[in-house]
């Protein structure tokens, strides 16, 4: 896929987040959680990935503290999975955070103690991007949704020398 990633600003962010999240009911089937993600997309830094057919995925960032930014939500249209959009979005998020002095990019996702098979694929993606599992919070999202915190160490722009998992084709 010949994809480009760019930062998107303005009210269109909400409609894009809604359309893509609603196309992924296996991940974002709970209306309340989905709406919270959609509303956050309208007020936080958002990157979109587009190919010749339009926007195929997005990622929303949240600054936790100076050293740590978090992927608040990311999603790629189901018919565009495994074509590199997710990798390109994480690379943009890592660059955004590193440029602002962060040394960690974090994400919270469903822990492996959940039987949910869709999120097993999500964890495989984050592992492939270099994220390391840090801690499970069994009740943060309620007992049925154990939360796994993962983190990706960031290399400051001036110290980057080697090719990371994020920039592989």
Q: Which residues are near ligand COA by CB under 6 A?
A: 24, 27, 74-76, 81-87, 107, 109, 121-122, 124-125, 128
Q: How far is the CB of 124 from ligand COA (least distance, A)?
A: 3
* Closer to ligand COA by Cβ: residue 102 or 122: 122
* Closer to ligand COA by Cβ: residue 121 or 156: 121
* Closer to ligand COA by Cβ: residue 92 or 156: 92
b/e per residue 57-90 (b: at least 16 CB within 10 A): bbbbbeeeeeebbbbbbbbbbeebeebbbbbbbb
Q: How far is the CB of 76 from ligand COA (least distance, A)?
A: 4
Tell me which residue has its CB nearest to ligand COA. Answer: 86
Residues for the chain: how many in total? 169
Q: How far is the CB of 138 from ligand COA (least distance, A)?
A: 17
Residue 134 near residue 150 (C-beta atoms within 8 A): yes
Distance CA 57, CA 152 (A): 20
Distance CA 1, CA 135 (A): 34
């Amino acid at each position: 896929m010949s994809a480009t990633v760019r930062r998107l600003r303005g009210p269109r962010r909400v409609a894009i987040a809604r359309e893509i999240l609603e196309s992924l009911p296996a991940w974002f089937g709970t209306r309340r959680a989905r709406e919270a993600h959609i509303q956050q997309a309208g007020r936080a830094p958002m990157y979109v990935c587009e190919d010749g057919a339009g926007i195929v995925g997005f990622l929303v960032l949240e600054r936790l503290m100076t050293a740590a930014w978090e992927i608040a939500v990311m999603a790629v249209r189901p018919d565009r999975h495994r074509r590199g959009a997710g990798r390109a979005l994480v690379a943009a998020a890592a660059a955004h955070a590193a440029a602002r002095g962060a040394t960690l990019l974090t994400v919270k996702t469903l822990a492996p103690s959940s039987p949910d098979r869709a999120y097993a694929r999500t964890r495989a993606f984050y592992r492939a991007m270099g994220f390391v599992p840090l801690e499970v919070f069994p009740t943060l999202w309620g007992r049925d949704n154990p939360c796994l915190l993962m983190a990706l160490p960031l290399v400051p722009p001036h110290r980057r020398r080697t090719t990371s998992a994020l920039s592989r084709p």
